[in-house]
């Protein structure tokens, strides 16, 4: 179980690092726009992301 969680975490880091590596200017612009969003909007994005992730887990498992 711990090995699977570490593998998932490592894969997440690889995927998260792709955009800043490939297009750093575009990533910075996007990050600055996200920083200007209200707290409620950021929470909604986080909730949506979690729900999509859970749905994908249920589809895969």
Cα gap 52→55, rounded to integer Å: 5
In angstroms, rounded to a whole number, what is the distance separating the alpha carbons of residues 16 and 49?
14
The CA distance from 58 to 61, in Å, is 5
pLDDT tens-digit profile, the chain (61 residues)? 888 889 999 999 999 999 999 999 999 999 999 999 999 999 999 999 999 999 998 998 8
CA distance 12 to 20: 14
Q: Residue 54: its pLDDT value, please?
A: 93
Instruction: State pTM to two decimals.
Output: 0.72
CB atoms within 10 A of CB 36: 7
């Amino acid at each position: 179980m711990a090995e699977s969680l570490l593998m998932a975490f490592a894969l997440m880091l690889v995927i998260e690092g792709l955009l800043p590596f490939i297009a750093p200017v575009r990533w910075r612009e996007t990050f600055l726009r996200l920083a200007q969003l209200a707290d409620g909007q950021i929470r909604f994005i986080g909730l949506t992301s979690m729900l999509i992730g859970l749905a994908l887990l249920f589809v895969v498992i």
